[in-house]
Amino acid sequence: MNRRRVVITGLGAVTPLGFNIKDLWEGLLAGKSAGCLITKFDTTDYAGKVGAEVKGYEPEKYFSSKDLRYYDLSHQFALIAAREAVEDSGFRDKDYVPERAGSVVGTAHGGATQFCNQYEIMLKKGMRFISPLAVQMMFSDMAPGLIGIEHDLKGPNYGTAAACASGTIALGCAYTHIVKNEADIMVAGGADTSLHHFSMAGFVRQKAVSTRNDDPATASRPFDKDRDGFIVGEGAGLIVLEELEHARKRGAKIYAELAGYGSSCDAFHRNAPDPEGYGASLAINAALEDAGITPEQVDYINTHGTSTVLGDISETKAIKLSFKEHAYKVTNNSTKSMIGHMMGAAGAVEGIVTVLSAVNDVIHPTINFETPDPDCDLDYSHNRTTEKKINYAISNSMGFGGHNATICVKKFTG
């Protein structure tokens, strides 16, 4: 029995580079940095003052005043990205069975912005003044629930929470539902808004973020010897996954195929990655095995590439463990060099970028590279756009707690 194939028919994103896929892709190819001094709250007492904000957002353009009283900012971004992905896919305009369509959305912080706001209201005014939906809006499952309501998706519906790997794991779970014949269409991805004072304070205290405050645009510098931490981004990325014959039947355009998925755990430390990269290499190996390909067939890797000292070395070692000598032939890059670390949304947005790279046979630059690091000696597309035939590509995600996930994207040739 042939395994059900999963293709990608719709893309949607809200990122620090804009409110749609076009702005994201054009900004990345241009090497545009979204790094800036944070304006969303007072950072006077923060050692790290740099982030990647979604600027110019006007929520009234997208939601009613009633909805805005309840929706967390992360939910708003998820809904906007889902609308673009669903419209791009066009499945609402064709026959589909709602009971065979679902949504999985990953997040690291859930409705943290709403939670912080409501908690401060309670402290200042008392419990009678908080929203009756304050608790529900902080749950990690609310974004896929709202997407399901808006688009009539009655199939599998839940959230995934695995820190920075949440979005990639959501894509993997949605893919698995289709492979197992539990769904025909899934709207999947990630959403996060970690740029608020409480989360940022925690990252600063952890010494995880860059303190390159004098030059925010260059603060995120993955694989550079002088990297000093990530910058926090925000936004959402949603993808419509669909069973191949279902997509063909309704005449959908097909971007690429999601051919494999793997996940693992470092089982090492609550914050630090496995220093030898073994845990991450397990996820890579599992994704390649699921796709039925060898490491030598991979042309491109969209790395997790956070710009942390330990993380970039660990991922480099993981790639070497999985790819051996081919590690020096495959082309890598880091999307986070431009849009920062979008936490639970990162893997989903980077999955979108991996798809666009495979479609267009082009790899965006990893910007802000100045000084080589002998421990990071692979080809990371530093400061250059690379045109290259891409038949297979993978996207890696690694999260606090040791969570690892990898998806494998295959060029669709019919």
Return d(Cα 181, Cα 179) in angstroms, integer.
Answer: 5
Return d(Cα 70, Cα 14) in angstroms, integer.
Answer: 20
8 Cβ contact list (under 8 Å, min separation 6): 239, 240, 241, 242, 254, 255, 256, 257, 258, 355, 409
Return d(Cα 407, Cα 401) in angstroms, integer.
Answer: 19
* Residues noted as catalytic: 164, 304, 341
Return d(Cα 247, Cα 277) in angstroms, integer.
Answer: 38
Q: Are 223 and 369 in contact (CB under 8 A)?
A: yes
Helix residue ranges, H only, 49-141: 65-68, 73-89, 112-125
101-106 vs 256-265, strand pairing mode:
unpaired
Please name the amino acid found at residue 300: Y
177: left (phi over 0), alpha (psi -120 to 50) or beta: alpha
Nearest Cα neighbor of 316 from 352, 280, 350, 344 is 280
